[in-house]
Amino acid sequence: MKNVLFVCVENSFRSQMAEGFAREFGAGKVQAYSAGSRPSGEVNPGAIEAMKEKGIDVASQASKGLEDLPALQWDAVVTMGCGDACPHLPAEKRLDWDLPDPKGKSAQEIRAIRDTIENHIKKLFGELEKSSQR
């Protein structure tokens, strides 16, 4: 089982959507987590609505801080483009997807960011699967 962490500042939008996709696509193969360097304490309603359109419920996920994560060896840590606010966490693979913050964006812009995250997740899981076959 691979441990994957998605990090953004507030852990309310991008990283929550990434966690939702990862749980959906990686069921039985990946343990997905998300956290923020300064968590907002809630999942943004725009993220909940955008993911609902894809048939994925993220409403039960919680916005949490890095200190709330279990002590795990991370196979991959993915930052969402949060720059200096994201601390370094040791991992086998580190990625930064450099996504715009969807907060305050239109529904169409949020969908575009969501779809980019979905594509990144599929690519990441393909890479993780290849590395576990070696």
- Residue 14 to residues 37, 109, 129, 133: CA-CA distances in angstroms? 13, 12, 23, 29
Residue 22 amino acid letter: A
Question: Which position among 56, 80, 86, 117 bears the catalytic label?
Answer: 86
10 is catalytic: no
Residue 36 amino acid letter: G
Query: What letter would DSSP give residue 37?
Result: S
81 is catalytic: no
8 is catalytic: yes
CB atoms within 10 A of CB 17: 34
Residue 48 to residue 16: CA distance in whole angstroms: 9
Question: Which position among 7, 50, 56, 82 bears the catalytic label?
Answer: 82
Pairing outcome for strands 74-79 and 2-8: parallel
Q: Which of 32, 46, 44, 34 is nearest to 8 (CA)?
A: 34
Question: Which position among 8, 30, 76, 99 bears the catalytic label?
Answer: 8
Catalytic residues, which ones?
Answer: 8, 82, 86
